[in-house]
């Protein structure tokens, strides 16, 4: 039997604060958007840029961590798999959505940029005199 591969890795900035809800069985799920940008020069030497938006879905413990520590504007690394959802709305119109189901998330950027309202500690209050064993 052959195996497939469905793996996505992105680095970008949150477009909105994460939203968490619970499934009827009580499992947490958090959704948020991440924007990635690329810049290139045309053959005429004109600089162009493009932003791509990704819908992110996190489940379980990762969902709770994303809700607690992430906020709009933060830079993050997200790793996961692509998933396509299809549904019909109340008027019978078919919809399709491609999203990244996250299995790993890392907060990037300077710690001083972190908003204390998100529940994180600002870098000024961290003890930087700790010794590291490595």
What pLDDT is stored for residue 22 in this prediction? 97
Q: What is the CATH number of the domain that holds 86?
A: 2.40.50.140
When pLDDT is averaged across residues 115-130 and rounded to a whole number, the result is: 40
The reply to whether 70 falls in a domain is yes
Give yes or no for residue 102 having a pLDDT over 60: yes
Contact between 88 and 96 under an 8 Å Cβ cutoff? The reply is: no
Distance CA 109, CA 118 (A): 15
Q: Render pLDDT for 32-48 as a digit per residue (tens, 0 to 9).
A: 999 999 999 999 999 99
Distance CA 132, CA 134 (A): 6
The reply to whether 107 falls in a domain is yes
Q: Render pLDDT for 79-89 as a digit per residue (tens, 0 to 9).
A: 999 999 999 99
Give yes or no for residue 127 having a pLDDT over 50: no
Number of domains in the chain: 1
What pLDDT is stored for residue 2 in this prediction? 86
**Tokens matching residue 1:** 């039997």
The reply to whether 2 falls in a domain is no
- Segments forming the whole domain that contains residue 94: 8-125
The reply to whether 80 falls in a domain is yes
Give yes or no for residue 112 having a pLDDT over 70: no
Give yes or no for residue 121 having a pLDDT over 60: no
Integer CA distances (angstroms), 3 to 6, 76, 80, 82, 103, in order: 10, 29, 17, 16, 19
């Amino acid at each position: 039997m052959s195996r497939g591969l469905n793996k996505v890795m992105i680095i970008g900035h949150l477009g909105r604060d994460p939203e968490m809800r619970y499934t009827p069985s009580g499992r947490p799920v958090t959704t948020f958007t991440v924007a990635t940008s690329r810049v290139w020069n045309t053959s005429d030497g004109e600089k162009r840029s493009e932003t791509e938006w990704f819908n992110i879905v996190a489940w379980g413990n990762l969902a709770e961590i994303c809700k607690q520590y992430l906020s709009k504007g933060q830079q993050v690394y997200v790793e996961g798999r692509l998933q396509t959802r299809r549904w019909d709305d109340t008027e019978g119109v078919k919809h399709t959505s491609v999203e990244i189901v996250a299995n790993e998330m890392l907060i990037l950027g300077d710690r001083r940029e972190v908003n204390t309202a998100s529940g994180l500690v600002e870098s000024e209050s961290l003890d930087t005199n700790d010794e590291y064993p490595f």
